[in-house]
Amino acid sequence: MKRLALTGNEAMAYAMKQSKPDVFCGYPITPTTDILVTLAKYIANGELDCEFVTAESEHSVASILYGASSAGARCFTCTASQGLALMHEVLHIISGARLPIIIGSSSRSLSSPINVHGDHADFMDMRDTSFIQIFSENAQDSYDNFLQGVRIAEEARLPAIISSDGFITSHNLEAVEVLKDEIAYKFIGDYKTPFSILDIKNPITINPLSLPNSFMEIKKSQADAMRQAKKVIPKVALEYEKISGRQYGFFREYCLDDAKVAIVVLGSTAETAQLVIDELRNKGIKAGILALRVFRPFPAKEIMAALSNCKVVCILDRADAYSSLGGPLFVEVASALYKSKSRPILLSRIYGLGGREIDEEMIKNIFEEIIKINKGQKLNEFGYIGLKK
């Protein structure tokens, strides 16, 4: 184990290098371009033996990787925002073919209007693509999650996206503990593809025409694979803890065991919120955080158990679902808690769109609202944080 100063993007690229991809195909886009550039340097310096392909668009990137993965290659890429949106058509084809392609991403807003800063709109836009979705709080998570993500995807036979907050995590320089190359690769292991279109002795058909008499069964098997991934994730995390000393699960709990009021959040905001929790705890207020790590497969039962003691919970979304019901994470959490016997009062708050800052004072205000509701006051269930007056 050694400690390096790495940004979130560099940490993800370092994990990519240690995973030894056969093919990397990419197209630059803010704020993930550093992943592509750093990996290109590793290849140019002779640190990584990998086929590096530059394409004319993100749609082409996904299509090239679809072919390479079908041939039995371990394949990675990186993208965000409009690039991820441009890939969208092929993402469904990749997951339908059960190809474990990995995307490294720094989440960014979607146009219009044009904005290159971080929010979770692009990540949420992938909800129904059948990609495993893992989110990182910091650069250390970006590194650890990518290594685990490769194992998870290849064992579950589903593609995965490993993401972090654009600019906030992607460009922030942090101390990151990395494994020795040989230990990291031993954890990942050689890629053992169950099929290859180049295997002429065992010919197969990839992505055939499927009519009504077969289509539904195929999609059901795809859904079953996502359910199976939920069993793979904790198993891989336990193995990773043994070699790294760092513990991972579906989410991270902070002061949640006896919490009466709590927030659910995704990404770097959790670390800012921790400081507020410490201050509230010193005042005798039982507050806590559930920092979600795995969004797909969604850990509904685990979330229900973790929030079972809470009276009021506010779900913070760095994306808007435009559904009139609340943010996308709110809708998922509300659905998970529907069967809870001790269902808490739920609030939905949208924040940080287009990279707008959220600070400790804003989070204190959120908890002030939560505490008022816990005392019987009525407030709006849905709202926005940090809007200009």
CB–CB of 158/24 below 8 Å?
no
pLDDT higher than 90, residue 78? yes
pLDDT higher than 90, residue 57? yes
Candidates 101, 83, 140, 122; CA nearest to 295 is 122
- Cα dihedral 235, 239, 240, 244 in deg (nearest 10): 150
For 379, the token pair is 């407030």
Q: How far apart are CA 161 and CA 130, in angstroms?
A: 10
pLDDT higher than 90, residue 389? no
Q: Which amino acid is residue 56, in one-letter code? A: E
What pTM did the predictor assign? 0.97
Helix (H/G/I), strand (E/B), else coil: 314: strand
For 251-384, CATH number out of 3.40.50.1110, 3.40.50.920, 3.40.30.10, 2.60.120.200 equals 3.40.50.920
> Where do the domains of the chain lie?
2-244, 251-384
Reported CATH class of domain 2-244: alpha beta
What's the pLDDT band for 378 if we cut at 50, 70, 90? confident
CB–CB of 97/70 below 8 Å?
yes
DSSP string for 28-93: --TTTHHHHHHHHHHHHTTS---EEEE-SSHHHHHHHHHHHHHTT--EEEE--HHHHHHHHHHHHH
pLDDT of residue 324: 87
What's the pLDDT band for 20 if we cut at 50, 70, 90? very high
Q: How far apart are CA 251 and CA 87, in angstroms?
A: 28
Place of tokens 């503990």: 177
Q: How far apart are CA 11 and CA 55, in angstroms?
A: 24
Q: How far apart are CA 94 and CA 122, in angstroms?
A: 18
Within this chain, domains 2-244 and 251-384 share the same CATH topology: yes
57-66, 344-353, 367-376: range with lowest mean pLDDT: 367-376
For 75, the token pair is 């394949």
What's the pLDDT band for 341 if we cut at 50, 70, 90? confident
For 12, the token pair is 């993800």
State the average pLDDT over residues 171-181: 98
* Dihedral pair phi/psi, residue 386, rounded to 5°: 85, 15
At residue 306's C-alpha, the angle toward residues 305 and 309, to 5°, is: 85
pLDDT higher than 90, residue 97? yes
Q: Which amino acid is residue 247, in one-letter code? A: Q
180-224 tens-digit pLDDT: 999 999 999 999 999 899 999 999 988 899 999 999 999 999 999
Q: Which amino acid is residue 338, in one-letter code? A: Y
Query: What are the beta bridge partners of residue 105?
Result: 163
State the average pLDDT over residues 87-93: 98
313-329 tens-digit pLDDT: 999 999 999 998 899 99
5-14, 195-204, 282-291, 344-353: range with lowest mean pLDDT: 195-204
CB–CB of 177/1 below 8 Å?
yes
86-100, 238-252, 275-289, 368-382: range with lowest mean pLDDT: 368-382
Helix (H/G/I), strand (E/B), else coil: 296: strand
Q: How far apart are CA 186 and CA 20, in angstroms?
A: 11
pLDDT of residue 26: 97
260-292 tens-digit pLDDT: 999 999 999 999 999 999 999 999 999 999 999
CB–CB of 313/346 below 8 Å?
yes
Mean of pLDDT over the chain: 97
pLDDT of residue 236: 98
129-170 tens-digit pLDDT: 999 999 999 999 999 999 999 999 999 999 999 999 999 999
Task: List all residues 6 or more positions away from 295 whose beta carbon is below 8 Å from its beta carbon.
Answer: 123, 127, 133, 134, 135, 266, 329, 332
